[in-house]
Amino acid sequence: MDAPTTGGPTQGSDTAGGASAAPDEWVLVTDDPLTDYHPAFTGNGRLAARVPAAGNGFAEAPVRTQFHVAGLYTGRGGEWSRKASLPAWTTLDVSDGSGSFNDAFSSVRATGEQLVGGDWAAVTRPEAGAARGIERYRQSLDLRTGVITTEARWTSPAGRVTDVRYQVLIDRSRPHVGAVTVTVIPHWEGTLVVNDTLDDRAAARTTPARQGAGAGRIWTVTEAEGSGIVAAVVSVLDAVAAPRSPAGEGTAAQTVTVRALPGQAHTFTKYVSVVTAHDADDPHAAARAHADAAARAGYGRLADDNRRAWAREWEGDIVVRGDARLQRQVRASKFYLLTSVREDSPWSPSPAGLSSDSYNGHVFWDTETWIYPSILAQHPQIAESVLDYRVRRLDAARAYAADGGHSGARFPWESSLTGDEDTPAWAPFGRLEQHVSSDVALAFWQYWLATGDERWLRTSGLPVLSAVADFWTSRVTADAEGRCHINGVIPPDEYAEGPHDDSVYTNVAARAVLRFAARAAERLGQPADPRWTDVADRLVIPFDQAQGIHPEFTGYEGQRIKQADVVMLAYPWENPQSAEVTRADLEYYVPRTHEEGPSMTDSVHSIVYAELGDAKAAFEHTRRSVEPFLRPPFEQFAEARTGGAFTFLTGHGGFLQEFLHGYSGLRWRADRVVLAPILPDPLDGIALRRLRWRGRVFDIDIRHDGTTVRLHAGEELPVEAAGQLHHVPAGGEVRLATRTPLADR
């Protein structure tokens, strides 16, 4: 019997069978593994797994289930480095001898364009597969804990009926540990077989060094191609004293056989550890120790510790009142960001994080511009770890600038293991999309504004800011009148391959960074290079007086653009310009933006409309920024309406900024926070929980009749709103006016 094809994504409890439970707004659920199904992934910021419809193991389609660990990159091999993926370590298959549970699921890969070099993989609407003998199916993702639960009643080819329930947990409290547990209730008598495997079909760009099984463990030690980075995966199987049989010498598999009786439940749990050479001198020994310790602790202890670790992260919640689906989308977006970052990780997320090798797992401006601001607001410790990736590669950025004949530091358009330029040679963006250095610097400046950490500013912030400022002072060209130009670049709008002179985004960003560096040096009592402010004051900022707009670059004639570019002068760069100019830029460029462009564009449009007081347009663009891009049933972003990178953290991060910085108007300052709250009519409220600024912890609760700022910890909080300065007392609150939308004035 095939699984039912009705239903689809729902809200609900992760408990199947019996009386229906009250819906749980934190749990994403589907009862259909076939129709428009895109598998979820889960992770703890260090390692992650995509979980297929079967609830464990490997599946090629509809989306390849990949298993990643931070920092596992190949060598460049004469071209560019790529993220390497591990064997499927979640496999714990169940069999009655006539077939297995995993074999009951199959699917067909949808056709789609595969661009050069594997840099971009299409994720279109998947074709329906098959789920033979599957009934009572349910799969859920609990956003509070990252646990993915899969339940079904399976009828084997021999006609035997078995209830199966899987849980996949990647422990946020233990960065190197995951666990898979399966409970099997046979409704027949005979031999039940459970297969624990590290499935090499999921591995990519690695070379197995050795594999084995014994003493209840299986293991794989592998090396990333070219780089030689070693990764070890060890699985310890707890099968309640059942005998284990290694599959064979040199094979990472073992089998457990038990006597099945009708209605008698059997539970099997595998404890897995993944360790790379970045983390230990002997990854295999370390992984074995972590897996053994997890097995001794037991699944219940891991689940409790994981729940507590996630609860600390979810103190920083975003509450959306009046739209249950939008609330789920917001929480899902935050969850997916957190699966790929953590406080103690020296790695930075790629556009798809740890979910896949989309864009080769490289780090782009996506991190600092789209992902990072949604982390900084509520998780500054994690934000610092994200920035540490750039600090560790500052010497490589200096070498890159020197190779081009410039001073200072130039960060690469695509970065991976070493911090060298890793853009494929066929793409011009690595040579010409140089604004990325300013995007990195902006993230560093934002961290200083949000935390006030002078130790960090001295050891990490100023070295990066000053190095990027030095790059721009050496990169500009002065004309006969003394004006400074930045020539021969590609702006954020990648349809404008050019190269072009005086990209307004590039120039505004460079000018801002030059001034950031001077202010940071002044704060620390260190001398600032006088060229920084001199060049900043002389940089050309193109402006069309007749149309009242900023042209995208010198010679721009109104052609279609790929994504947000000029509109980003208002946010995140806060370029000093009138509201009239901001609106003119917005109204000029929004209709010229390609509808098939990337998902994060409309998030900027929404934020800028909110800044201008147009809540109706802001909310329209909020809908546009999410609805065409989310893939069911687990609310994951694809890069574009037609597919692209998946799961696209860039889209998730931009979407969250609409709530953290758009409707709140939250902007960081060194001596206060600035708010300009506004609420679209379709919503009843937005609450931002446990925001953090310079030792303070506070909430913002936006309602139509007013906005409340509550201070939970720290000294008095200075808040500017509508040009007035308010002081929120320790443990107290202040009431502010919520702006009236333009349409209601």
Distance (Å, rounded) from C-alpha 323 to C-alpha 671? 35
- Dihedrals phi, psi of 429, to nearest 5 degrees: -65, -35
Beta strand 477-478 with 484-485: parallel, antiparallel or unpaired?
antiparallel
What type of residue sits at position 261?
L
- Dihedrals phi, psi of 110, to nearest 5 degrees: -70, 150
- CA nearest neighbour of 537 among 467, 478, 587, 588: 478
Mark residue 203 as left, alpha or beta (left: phi above 0; alpha: psi -120 to 50; beta: remaining): beta
Residue 158: strand, helix, or coil: coil
Token code pair at residue 477: 């060209």
Tell me if 201 sits within 8 A of 257, measured CB to CB: no
Active site residue 343: no
CB atoms within 10 A of CB 425: 12
| Tokens 């920083």 found at | 316
Distance (Å, rounded) from C-alpha 139 to C-alpha 333? 19
Tell me if 490 sits within 8 A of 429, measured CB to CB: yes
CB atoms within 10 A of CB 519: 16
Distance (Å, rounded) from C-alpha 239 to C-alpha 152? 21
Q: Which of 223, 225, 494, 658 is catalytic?
A: 494
Tell me if 723 sits within 8 A of 736, measured CB to CB: no
Tell me if 168 sits within 8 A of 55, measured CB to CB: yes
What is the length of the chain? 745
Distance (Å, rounded) from C-alpha 603 to C-alpha 449? 23
Q: Calculate the alpha carbon distances from 420 to 46, 411, 427, 463, 589 in Å.
A: 22, 8, 15, 18, 34
Distance (Å, rounded) from C-alpha 469 to C-alpha 410? 10
Q: Residues 6 or more apart from 123 whose CB is under 8 A from it?
A: 38, 63, 112, 631, 638, 643, 644, 645, 646
What type of residue sits at position 588?
Y
Distance (Å, rounded) from C-alpha 394 to C-alpha 440? 11
Q: In the chain, how long is the greatest CA-to-CA distance?
A: 91
Tell me if 630 sits within 8 A of 329, measured CB to CB: yes
Tell me if 627 sits within 8 A of 584, measured CB to CB: no
Active site residue 79: no
297 class by beta-carbon count within 10 Å (0-12 exposed, 13-18 middle, 19+ buried)? middle
Q: Which of 223, 421, 639, 658 is catalytic?
A: 639
CB atoms within 10 A of CB 344: 10
- CA nearest neighbour of 163 among 150, 174, 175: 150
End-to-end CA distance of the chain: 60
Distance (Å, rounded) from C-alpha 670 to C-alpha 209? 52
Tell me if 254 sits within 8 A of 248, measured CB to CB: no
Tell me if 49 sits within 8 A of 70, measured CB to CB: no
Residues carrying an active site annotation:
494, 639
